[in-house]
Amino acid sequence: MKVFIVPCADKEKSIAALPSVISILKTSGVQPILPESASSYSRDYRAKYMDSDSALRECDMLMTIGGDGMILEWGKKAAAAGKPVLGINTGRVGFMTAIDADETYKLKALAEGSYIVSRRMMLSAELTHSGAPSSFMALNDVVLFKEAGSKLPEFEVRINGAVVTRVRADGIILSTPTGSTAYALAAGGPIIEPTVECIQLTTLCAHTLMNRPMIFSSSDTVTVNVIPYEGSRVYLSADGEHGTEFSPEDSLMIRRSEVFLELAEIGEKNFYNTVGEKLMTPLK
């Protein structure tokens, strides 16, 4: 078995965990692979160094060392390559990670095949911006939000062509079940079990008394347009990235992606136990 390990180079805890991870994998008969860029802070004779594209093709699994942000960054690449992802948490929450940094001894389960893989739905987005189409994927969410200090725009949301809401708000979040425990949760959305396939709509600070989150079928097509007010400016982000300006002439179409993320877990990890541990106790 070959595992491509991607540590968060900006976190000392991630780099500090790397020797232990390499040691456990190597002694378990698993070949560690590191990106060539990692040689600047970790040169270990037990690991193989490759460019990321080649490593993704050759490996059997991608392993991130960091927080959920690392899974968001690398998960889409792994999903496109058809490789499962296992996360080691060195951040604060690590909701999608399999183990914490002090549990690297559990990695011997990989060589034994003692792990499970859950399939996570992703979103496929088609953006028509300034007349030019582009597409991207999101594991957590796609967010439209107004510029700070801007007047409130109106967001029009259609499902399969039918208008379901027009709402004046700071923004809207279209999320997967995996993303329901991220930004959407902070905005008042419900927690959705991650293997459920649906698309969730949550508004940000809507100026109405009749505001509730909405859940759509994963087979639906969601289309969003923005009606500006007195020069209001709106931006779009996917999994916290991009920040593209979204003009009144633009259109956003969201569907369930044909590509799924395979998230590896060690042991009998229970989603609801994780909710209690990660979301209902104070952050350290």
Residue at token pair 């960054």:
73
> In a 3-state reduction of DSSP, which class is residue 169?
coil
Structure tokens at 231: 């020069």
Whole-number Å distance between alpha carbons of 183 and 87: 20
Choose among 96, 115, 97, 101: nearest CA to 1.
115
Question: CB under 8 Å, gap of 24 or more: what pairs does 193-198 form?
Answer: 193/271, 194/118, 194/120, 194/271, 195/118, 195/119, 195/120, 197/121, 197/256
Select from 195, 198, 200 the least CA-distant residue to 270: 195
Cα 5 from Cα 61, distance rounded (Å):
9
Q: Which two tokens stand for residue 59?
A: 């490996």
Catalytic residue among 44, 68, 220, 250, which?
A: 68
Residue 27 CA, distance from chain mean position: 31
Tell me whether residue 68 is one of the annotated catalytic residues: yes
**Following DSSP, what letter does each residue of 11-30 receive, concatenated?**
-HHHHHHHHHHHHHHHHTT-
* Secondary element (H or E) of residue 271: helix 271-279
Q: Is 132 helix (H, G, I), strand (E, B) or coil?
A: strand
Neighbouring C-beta atoms of residue 234, cutoff 10 Å: 22
Judge contact between 125 and 114, C-beta under 8 A. no
Name the residues annotated as catalytic: 68
